[in-house]
Amino acid sequence: MSGVNKVILVGRLGKDPEVRNLDNGAVVANFSIATSESYKDRTTGEKKEVTEWHNIVLWRGLAEIAQKYLRKGDMVFIEGKLRTRSWEKDGVTRYTTEIVGDNMTMLTPKTGAGGGASQEYSSAERSPAESMRTNAPVDNSTDDLPF
Amino acid sequence: MSGVNKVILVGRLGKDPEVRNLDNGAVVANFSIATSESYKDRTTGEKKEVTEWHNIVLWRGLAEIAQKYLRKGDMVFIEGKLRTRSWEKDGVTRYTTEIVGDNMTMLTPKTGAGGGASQEYSSAERSPAESMRTNAPVDNSTDDLPF
Amino acid sequence: MSGVNKVILVGRLGKDPEVRNLDNGAVVANFSIATSESYKDRTTGEKKEVTEWHNIVLWRGLAEIAQKYLRKGDMVFIEGKLRTRSWEKDGVTRYTTEIVGDNMTMLTPKTGAGGGASQEYSSAERSPAESMRTNAPVDNSTDDLPF
Amino acid sequence: MSGVNKVILVGRLGKDPEVRNLDNGAVVANFSIATSESYKDRTTGEKKEVTEWHNIVLWRGLAEIAQKYLRKGDMVFIEGKLRTRSWEKDGVTRYTTEIVGDNMTMLTPKTGAGGGASQEYSSAERSPAESMRTNAPVDNSTDDLPF
DNA sequence: TTTT
DNA sequence: TTTT
């Protein structure tokens, strides 16, 4: 790899995630989250707000967690990378920029069994034991999705 | 400047912020936030959790917002930089690493007037108008704190 | 503001920046930077590379620095936020996602007078004096561009 | 996990990395990198610089890459997490805060065989194929270090 | 302890 | 459109 491509977002889901099971067995979730910024209009002095919508794509384990736990209006932390796809429509090439998430923390407390705190999920979890400079670390969290 | 020194945290306050007014009129807030990581112990198979405490320092406007709105247990997003200070105690030089925040978003909904959503604050707010490639970009970066 | 919208990139410029002076006196620079990722093709076992292009927008002081110092092929660190704009062409609404930079560090050493190390520039510079818990914190955030 | 604990640094190594092989077969590298910030002294008007040193810890594959390729003076991008350890010395408990890196990009071009561009390494590499919404993604980069 |  |  060459370079760094990182996005960090905290925002709310505009709708429930759309989750699909691909033919090859992969699971993918799509949803949008909004971030907004307020500022004072220079000429009128009014306080205004600009909302930005971000298209999130999650794969495999993260997609399944999104499907189970994320709902419209929930706040999430998403870490991922930018990816722009092109596609044809009516003979016109269009471009969509998405954030492919590899790390997610739910910031809206989930009520019910065990609910409460935020919960982070990663597409490549790694044990913190390796941070502890002692012996016997490491959970090589295998990835047992069917592909 | 040379290089990049950036920290991004989402965690909960261990206690209420301590806020002090310095002789020169500056306001500074100190508090700690916890992040934790869970992993499976390799030998016992048990799920374990490691908690990390981060010392946060906020200045001026951010310190005042912390004083007003942040309480023990609240979840916050903090963006800042690492800074290690040294100090003497009992003839021994000790070091403390802190995160000097320059951006903060409260993630625990505040009930009461206007409460509800998260709210972001920056030590150097800038209008998003400049992002809009139209006329009259805006600089409202005035800083009217008493120092 | 509500939420967090942050992008961090390290990549190379595909071309020299395009810099324009707007009627209102603002300066804006546009350029693209590439990040790439290598991976092993699952079926063929070949090592492949995917390149992602990011559209960068810089305003005012950062635009002027880009104009002076950034050239095709140079490596830069960019910190900013995502912003999607829509525009019409041939009766079709199109969308472009850009990164509006608020912090930049040049990573390609500049030879010649004073050249050498990386240099960071921010759209809202702030003195580190405030990090030093001593007397007289500093606000030198004046913004003397002509708008 | 609960929360987010992320550090992003671009700086130069003060010395060559120290690399050790632990009894359990793990490899760990330690080195410091400097970031600096310049500011104008408020009273004297002089331009000053503050340097911050960050203690980096890398494990396994990243440690081996550091050993092979990183040298004093090199510039690197490091992504990781904060971790504070305590230890005893002369009956006094001391604390050290380190950055445990999980992603690294070398920003100093390496001359010699194959040298030149920046190169990124991750502690948990993942194929970008999964980003491409086609069939047959995924390289489950196994982790074959001896522990 | 880096670098300009 | 960069770079190796």
Per-residue pLDDT at A132 exceeds 50: no
Per-residue pLDDT at C146 exceeds 70: no
**C91 CB inside 7 Å of strand E:** no
Q: What subunits touch chain D, counting only 3 or more CB pairs under 8 A?
A: A, B, C
List C-alpha distances in Å: C125 to B107, B141, C121, C128, D92: 26, 11, 8, 9, 40
- Smallest CA–C1' separation from D51, nucleotide: E2
| Cβ atoms of D139 and C40 closer than 8 Å | yes
**What number is the average pLDDT over the span C117-145?**
46
A96: CB partners within 8 A, 6+ apart: A55, A84, A85, A86, A87, C95
Phi/psi of residue D108, each to 5°? -95, 120
Mean model confidence pLDDT for chain A: 82
Q: What is the reported pLDDT for C124?
A: 66
Per-residue pLDDT at D31 exceeds 90: yes
Q: Structure tokens of B82? A: 């690492």
Q: What is the reported pLDDT for A89?
A: 87
Q: What is the reported pLDDT for C135?
A: 29
D18 touching A, CB under 8 A?
no
* Number of neighbouring beta carbons within 10 Å of residue D17: 22
- Smallest CA–C1' separation from D53, nucleotide: E1
Q: What is the reported pLDDT for D2?
A: 77
Q: Structure tokens of D77? A: 């991008």
Protein residue with the closest CA to the C1' atom of nucleotide E3: C117
A114: CB partners within 8 A, 6+ apart: none
| Cβ atoms of B55 and B49 closer than 8 Å | no
Mean model confidence pLDDT for chain B: 82
Q: Do A7 and C6 touch (CB under 8 A)?
A: yes
Q: Do B9 and D5 touch (CB under 8 A)?
A: yes
D18: CB partners within 8 A, 6+ apart: D29, D30, D31
Q: Do C52 and A11 touch (CB under 8 A)?
A: no
CA–C1' gap, A115 and E2, in angstroms = 47
CA distance C31 to C65: 13
Protein residue with the closest CA to the C1' atom of nucleotide E2: D14
D50 touching C, CB under 8 A?
yes
Protein residue with the closest CA to the C1' atom of nucleotide F3: D117
Residue-wise pLDDT tens digits, D59-111: 999 999 999 999 999 999 999 999 999 988 888 999 999 999 999 999 887 77
D88 touching B, CB under 8 A?
no
- Which bases along strand F come within 7 Å of a protein CB atom? 1-4
- Smallest CA–C1' separation from D49, nucleotide: E4
**Helix/strand/coil percent split, chain C, to 5:** 10, 50, 40
**B6 or D126: whose pLDDT is higher?**
B6
Q: Do C54 and A83 touch (CB under 8 A)?
A: no
Q: What is the reported pLDDT for D112?
A: 59
D124 touching B, CB under 8 A?
no
**D139 or B118: whose pLDDT is higher?**
B118
Amino acid at A36: S
- Smallest CA–C1' separation from D55, nucleotide: E1
Q: Do A97 and C97 touch (CB under 8 A)?
A: yes
Residue-wise pLDDT tens digits, B104-119: 999 988 876 544 456 7
Least confident of A56-60, B82-86, B139-143: B139-143
pTM of the model: 0.83
Domains in chain A, ordered, with CATH? 7-106 (2.40.50.140)
From B6, C62, A125, select the one nearest D77 (Cα to Cα).
B6
Closest Cβ opposite residue D137 in set A4, A26, A121? A26
Strand runs labelled E in chain A: 4-13, 18-21, 27-40, 47-59, 75-89, 92-106, 119-122
Residue-wise pLDDT tens digits, B5-41: 999 999 999 999 999 999 999 999 999 999 999 888 8
Per-residue pLDDT at A51 exceeds 70: yes
CA distance C69 to C123: 16
| Cβ atoms of A89 and A83 closer than 8 Å | no
